[in-house]
Structures are given as structure tokens and as C-alpha cells.
Structure 1
Amino acid sequence: MPTERYHVRVTKDSFIFSCAHFITFNRDQGERLHGHNYRVAVEVEGPLDENHYVFDFIALRDRTQAISFELDHHVLLATLNPLLSVEETADRVRVTFGQKEWLFPREDCILLPIENTTAELLAKWIAGRLLADVRGRGFSPQVIRVEVEENIGQSAIYESRA
């Protein structure tokens, strides 16, 4: 018996965000602060609705674009990383890792509840934001995939299945 599956995928030139970040690894090593021009693609899978849509392209495009704009031109900091100390005040964010210390203006930072600012975890965080939004519109996709490309030919994909 044949099985049908429907997917909707959006990726646009406007789904780009330029951010600074660094990653910690091997318990005692960390990258230098650096940046990427990230690009996002989103795919949802589910049954067709009464309009014969999986989900409205425009709504998915607009929400993905809003998240991209929100992240754009910020320093991304992982608040759940046990190797980092992230201290936030009204106007500053102080980050320490071993002997290293950074002090950023608060308005320049996005504090993310993730363990590290890897492309994999950024994709998962974006997927979580999108899922909350589409579920709020009454849609529960069977599958959501979010791809975060940090350089041409270098990307990570997060997938969640209902």
C-alpha cells in the first residue's frame, strides 16, 4: 500500500543572520570569538489540510524571517554551558571561560538557553521557536527540519518527529 508524505520547505536570501560566537570543547578549550553569516532553511512535514496545504508558505516564511532578524548582528551566548559564566546586568553581559573574560553591551547579546552555540544547537533552538509558533496556530507537524548553514557547504540539520 503506497504511503504519501507531503513536505513544505522554505529558504530565502532573507533567512540570513550575521553573528559572533565561540564554542567551548574538550572541557578546557574554546574557540576565539568569530562570526558567521548563517543561513536557515526550514521544512515541515504533515498531512494536507482542508485547503490542501501542509502549512502556509507565507506564514512559515514570515516566522523564520522574524527569528533571523532577531538574531542578526548580535553576539550569541550559551547560558547553559557549564564551562561558561554568563552574568547579565541591565546594560552589560560579562562572560568568563577559564582565564578569558569578555564584556559586551547587553543590547549586543542574545542569551540562548542552550549548552553551546554550535550550528546543531542553533538549529534545534530555531526549530523549538518555530514549533511553538505553528502549534499556536493549531498546526502540529509530523516532522520539522531546520538547517543552519554557517558557511557554504558546512551546515547542521536538526529534525524533530512527533
Structure 2
Amino acid sequence: MANSPQYYVRVTKDHLVFSAAHFITFNGNICERLHGHNWRLAVEVAGPLDENRYVFDFIALRDAAQKVVDELDHRVLLPTQHETISVVDHGHEVEARYEDRRWIFPREDCVLLPVINTTAEEIANWIAGRLLEQWDESARRSITRLQTEVEENFGQWAICRHDGPFA
């Protein structure tokens, strides 16, 4: 064989879903109404085979993905880096504002994401970062690519791919 094989592992399970509300802005000055989705997560990792002859342990990958899904499930996802959406954490509650609109949420119902907009693309990127934070240096060093996919609605996926090294 002329080329070396490349190996990938992928997890997506019926339980790797989260129900979460969000709203986004688009076209400069349009802000959606607050609404929710039943989001689905898929994660793919590429790399060489290790001494066990696998790229990454399926169970470890599944469990890391589940931990992130659990952080997001039944929450309101709010962007903290948006130019025109203000998000203020008052301790027991979170206030979000856009122009003349104002929302107040219990703090425990919110995930404040360090993103510009709570699009599926940005959420996929944030999830990739959370996964990498969970893995030790050895695990991060062993992978050459991390791809996270977030399905916002059936058949509508946002995909974020990061190429290593990750150590």
C-alpha cells in the first residue's frame, strides 16, 4: 500500500443530546426570539493507533462528551462576548439585554458561554474546548484531529474541526 491508513473514532449516542434554549442575532440587527432545540452531539477523534491498537478509548470519549452534554442540558445558553447583547451575572440571576428587550433568568438555569453568538457553530467549537480540558496531556498529545458536530434540528449540523497538536 502506498499510503498509510488514517484512523478515526466517532461517538454519537441517543443520550448525547441536550435540550437548551438560545437566541442569536444575524444580519446586523435582527435578534431571534428565545427558543429551544433538542441538540445532538457527535465527536470524532483522529490519530495513530496506540499500543492497544485503537485511536482513543470509546468509553472515555463517550463519557467526556456526556459530561459536556450534561452541563448544557435544560439550560439557557447565553453569549458573553456579543457586541450588542449584554449578559450580566448578578449571582442569583442573570440579566440579558438586546436593545429594548430584557430577559431575567435564574443563574442555575444558565450557561454563560465565552462566544460571540450562540450559533451551533460556536457551540461546537466551545464543546471542543471543553473536551480538550477534560483530557490529560497524554490523551491530547495522542490525537491529531478533533471534530465536534452539533445538530440543532434534524438534519442541520454545524461542524467544527481542530487539527492538532493539542499538547
Q: TM-score per shorter chain, which class?
A: over 0.9
Per the alignment, residue 122 of structure 2 pairs with 121
In structure 1, what is the Cα distance between the partners aligned to 2:110 and 2:134? 23
Per the alignment, residue 131 of structure 1 pairs with 132
Q: Which runs of 4+ in 1 moved over 4 A?
A: none
CA shift for structure 1 position 127: 0.7
Q: Does 1:96 align with 2:97?
A: yes
Q: Does 1:45 align with 2:46?
A: yes
Alignment deviations for residues 50-90 of structure 1 (CA, whole Å, 9 cap, x no partner):
11110100000001011101110000000011111111111
Tell me, what secondary structure is at the counterpart of 1:117?
coil
TM score, norm. by length of structure 2: 0.93
In structure 2, what is the Cα distance between the partners aligned to 1:104 and 1:27? 25
Partner letter of residue 96 of structure 1?
A: R
Partner letter of residue 152 of structure 2?
A: E
Partner letter of residue 95 of structure 2?
A: R
Partner letter of residue 25 of structure 2?
A: T
Tell me, what secondary structure is at the counterpart of 1:81?
coil
Greater mean alpha carbon deviation, residues 114-123 or residues 139-148: 139-148
Per the alignment, residue 148 of structure 2 pairs with 146
CA shift for structure 1 position 4: 1.1
Partner letter of residue 58 of structure 1?
A: I
Instruction: Name structure 1 gaps, 5 residues minimum.
Output: none
In structure 2, what is the Cα distance between the partners aligned to 1:87 and 1:31? 19
Per the alignment, residue 158 of structure 1 pairs with 160
Tell me, what secondary structure is at the counterpart of 1:45?
strand
In structure 1, what is the Cα distance between the partners aligned to 2:124 and 2:69? 12
Instruction: Name structure 2 gaps, 5 residues minimum.
Output: none
In structure 2, what is the Cα distance between the partners aligned to 1:74 and 1:137? 32
In structure 2, what is the Cα distance between the partners aligned to 1:23 and 1:44? 29
In structure 2, what is the Cα distance between the partners aligned to 1:139 and 1:50? 16
CA shift for structure 1 position 133: 2.0
Alignment deviations for residues 74-124 of structure 1 (CA, whole Å, 9 cap, x no partner):
000000111111111110101110111111111110000011110001000
In structure 1, what is the Cα distance between the partners aligned to 2:114 and 2:126? 8
